[in-house]
Structure formats: C-alpha cells, structure tokens
Amino acid sequence: MKKYALLVLILLPLILFAQTAIEESGDAEGTSYGIGGMVGSVTIGDNTYSQIRLMPEIVIWKFGFGLDIDLLIDSEGKVRKEDWDEARDIINKIYYIRFAQRRDPFYFKVGSIPDYTLGHGLIFDGYSNMLRYPEFRNIGGYVGVNTPYAGLGFEAFTHNVEKNEILAGRVHAKPLSLLSIPFFEKLIVGVNVGVDRNQFGKYEDKDGDDIPDVYDAFVDNAASWLDTDGDGVADDIDIDIDGDNALDDPTVNPFVEVQYPGIGNAGLTLDTDIVPDLAVPLGSDREIYIYSADYELPLIESRVFSLSHYAEYAMIRNYGSGFIFPGFGAKLFIFDANLEFRSFGDEFLPGYFDKLYDEQRSNVLYTDINGQQVYSLIAKEEILSSVKASMGWYGSVKANIANMIFLKIAYQDMYGEDVVTGKSIWGTLGVDPKIIPNLKEASVSYSQTNVEYIALNKLRSPSAEVSGRMAYGLSSNTFLVGKYTERYIDLDANGKIQGTDETVKSMTFGVEFKF
C-alpha cells in the first residue's frame, strides 16, 4: 500500500500547481497544464470497488501527455492487484502521448484511441481500443505523414503496441495535383488495409495449450484443461470423471486401466455412463484481412457551405465485397450530413472493425450436445457466411442547435433477399449545461448494428450498446458524476439476450475534480 500512497504524493505538486483544465484529452494545442480525477465507486464484472483516480495532463505546443492512475480498492481495503502486479501495468497508466493532429505533416499518438476511422468507414468505423477500459487497457497508437508532394501520405495503426493484433494501414495521394487540372486537382485517392492477426486474442492462453483460459480448468498446466466434475482433478488423471462416486469403466476412461491394470476384466460393476466435457482448441486459422480503395473530391468549399463527393470499395479476404457510390458529405450552418448509396455482396459486413469490435471479435460459446457440455470460441468472422447481398442507403446528421442541444443520428437501411443484417442505427443526444443550473454535462447514446430490423421495444441485442453520463457541478472544479454502459453477449447463440450472464454492465459514480 505504501507504493500507492507514494505515487499519490508525487502527483500532489501537479494538483497544487495545475493551471488549466484540459477539456478534451489529446486534442488541444498551445501550452496548458491540468489534472482531473475522481473519487467514487466503479463496478467491474460482478465486483464493486472504491475508486481513486488521477488524470494529470500537459500540453506544450503540439505535444500532449496524459496519465490515468486508477486505484481500485475492494471491500477489504485492498488495492486490486491485477492493476499493479506486472511491469506492463505501470506502462498501462499512460493515457496518451501524442504529437500534432492527423491533418499535420507528421503526427503520432500512443495510448488510448477512443474513435478510429479509416477511409470512409468500410473497414474501420469508429473503432475504440477503450471498449473494455479500465478492466482491460490497451496502449495502442498510430503514426502518419502528409507530404506536400502530390499529397502523398501514409498512416499505420495498432490497437496494442505490445500485441499488434488489430492493425491498419493507409496510403493516400492527390495524383492530379501536379497536372493543375481545375477542379480535379484536389482529388484524393487512398488504399487501405485492416487486419486482425488473432481473432481469439481477447482471451488469454497462459500455458499455450491452445485452450483459452476462459474455459481451461488448469491455466498453468499445458497437459490438462478439463475438469468435468469440478473436483480439482483433471479428467485425464481422474478415475471418476463425472464425480458420481463410482469407478469409471476403462473402456470410457483409459486412465482407470493405467491405475488399476486388468480391472476391466475383474467382473466388477463399473461406471460406463460418463459424459465428459469437451473443450474445443483454438486452431491456427485466426486471421482476417480486409482491403479497400477510396477517393474523395471536394465540390464546393466556402465558409458557409461545403460539399464533397466520395466512394469506397472494400473486400474481405476469402469472403465478399461491397462499395459506397455515390457518397456525399456536406456542411451547412449548424449541420454536418452524409448520404451514401451502399451495395454489398454476399459475406460482407461494412465497418467490420467498429466501436464494439473488441467485444465482438470472439466470444465463448457454451453448447449442450446430448448432455455433453462443449466449450468453444466463436469469432465474428463466422457470421459472414450467413450474410446475404444487399443494397440501400446510409445517412447521418450532426447538429448543434443554438448551442443548447447536440444531436447525432445515423441510419443504415439495406434490403435484399433473405437479408438479416441490413439495419443499423446510431444516436447520441447531449444537452448544453447552460440551460439547467449546475448541470455540467448530460448525454445518452445508443447503437444497434447489422440486425434484421430495428425494434424500439427490443433494444437489447448482441450488437447493441447503450451508455449515459451526467455531471452535476458542486463547485467550479468539482462535479458529481454518474456513468453507465451496457452491452450484450449472446453466449448460447440463440439470437436472444437472456439473463444477467449475457449483459455486460459498467457503472461509475463519484466525485470528479479538475484543476
């Protein structure tokens, strides 16, 4: 406990001399110093912890640096050791390190990436490496260059600089800029790639036996993984696999013959009614690659109104392809809007790496087959074979209404024969604090993607997420804050969300401060 207290004492000078709160981490430029934090409670899984959180930040010119130091204390007054027991845990306290912005000649960011889009969104669309934060922390990053020569540039992205499993790359240029062709000289073309090198990387396999720890009964023993009766003895060395206090017959449990040679011919009544659990190994085919090419052409550029045209074509290796054409983006007064015609072939999903991907990339599947419990992992890739060709429209609108209400809504409506993944909706509503005394922030968001239909009376689905945040001012630098997030996992693959095991909730409540 002393080292945690020492860490807090080291940070106290930052609190005392901090000057300016940094409103949006990693976006400001100039020179500013600040620290935020929170004292309250947080729920992770089935456990509730008291939380002491400090988030010092500093911005000098184009450089930004932030830490996120989180002490989670259980009901016994002990700090959650999983957050501090390895060297990587110290590195994970880095919230971000960045230089410049993605539009600048050279830029990079390392740390938390809350919203990453590539091209026009057919590969990466709002991907976040913070979905399971703070329970699981990723130190991700991207680096890029924009040169003045024909607009040539590139960008590389990773969700985690240590694992490097979810990766992206982009090369773009203005090929007609050197020819000084009016109107077309601003044409931007790009090629993109996205990959998940290990779709089962969500789950650890400490002993390397190809059985993920989530259903490996012996995570430190590569020779054993099943324990059907839960007695702590591995099935492969257990003489009573099902725990019914009857000696197993060696014809169904060979280990009994090893322990008692010849017992099968001794005329004894032995247990043959055994249904041991089955754990499916991960296998070697864990990668998925997606490629795309896109262009964008500004049509009108003015202070009041701008309009651009764009398109993108993407294909998932060994699966299908799809495209956006035509696509239009516009800005007018308080509105930002996009409208796209989309056409997707069989076995293609747009925005494959989206906000929920870290949760959806794979999940545990528990199956009962004639009394046998079968444990396996199912990757998001496996739903591609059931996706049917479709075409339709996507539209989005963002609005700032009188600096009082902030609204963003997007909708995708695809249609085709036997299409069950054609509908998606995204929505965010925020209220400006000025209209309600002492209310500093209030927002709610909801999304549901790639479903057969949007049913407002059935908001819970495996591809849905709902979140909300409210902050009430206690003083100029202190706020009472509540946050809630809920998303869903279809463990039994029946298309329904039932029971608490299929609902992942995250709730935080406490006092937040900024200096």
List the pLDDT tens digit at each of the 515 positions of the chain. Answer: 444 443 443 343 333 333 333 334 455 566 677 787 788 888 777 788 888 888 889 999 999 999 998 888 988 888 888 888 887 788 888 899 999 999 999 999 999 999 999 999 999 999 999 998 877 889 999 999 999 999 999 999 999 999 999 999 999 999 999 888 888 999 999 999 999 999 999 999 999 999 999 999 999 999 999 999 999 999 999 999 999 999 999 999 999 999 999 998 888 999 999 999 999 998 877 899 999 999 999 999 998 999 999 999 999 999 999 999 999 999 998 899 999 999 999 999 999 999 999 999 999 988 988 889 999 999 999 999 999 999 999 999 999 887 778 999 999 999 999 898 889 999 999 987 666 777 878 899 999 988 888 877 777 888 889 999 888 888 777 888 888 998 888 777 777 787 777 888 888 777 776 66
In a domain, 409, yes or no: yes
Amino acid at 350: P
CA angle 129, 133, 137 (to 5 degrees): 70
Number of folded domains in the chain? Answer: 3
Residues 19 and 44 in one domain: no
Domain edge (last residue) among 352, 386, 420: 386
User: Six-digit token pair at 232?
Assistant: 């702590």
- Torsions phi, psi for 456 (to 5 deg): -70, -15
35-49 in b/e form (b: 16+ CB < 10 A) is bbbbebebebeeeeb
Helical residues (DSSP H) of 171-269, grouped into ranges: 254-259
DSSP calls for 285-327 = ---EEEEEEEEEEEEEE-SSEEEEEEEEEEEETTS-EEEEEEE
User: Nearest CA to 94 among 109, 111, 82, 81?
Assistant: 111
- Identify the domain containing residue 63 by its residue range: 30-100
Same domain, 419 and 500: yes
Task: Answer for the pair 317, 326: CB distance below 8 angstroms, yes or no.
Answer: no
Q: Are residues 393 and 489 in the same domain?
A: yes
Q: Calculate the dihedral angle through the C-alpha atoms of 452, 454, 456, 458, rounding to the nearest 10 degrees.
A: 20
Same domain, 298 and 401: no
**Is 185 part of any domain?**
yes
Mapping DSSP to helix (H, G, I), strand (E, B) and coil, where does residue 445 land?
strand
Considering 354, 386, 418, which residue would you say is the last residue of a domain? 386
34 and 162 co-located in one domain:
no
pTM of the predicted model as reported, rounded to 2 decimal places: 0.84
Strands 69-73 and 63-67: unpaired
Domain match, 10 and 128 both: yes
492 and 345 both lie in a single domain: no
Together in a domain, 182 and 291: yes
Residues 6+ apart with CB under 8 A from 18: 33, 34, 35, 56, 515
| 409 and 476 share one domain | yes
Q: Are residues 417 and 377 both part of a single domain?
A: no
Residue 261 lies in a domain: no
Residue 265 belongs to some domain of the structure: no
Is residue 140 within 8 A of residue 191, CB to CB? The reply is no
Q: Please tell me the distance from the alpha carbon of residue 54 to that of residue 80, in angstroms, as a whole number.
A: 16
Determine, yes or no, domain membership for 178: yes
Kindly state whether residues 501 and 430 are assigned to the same domain. yes
Do 327 and 312 contact (CB within 8 A), yes or no? yes
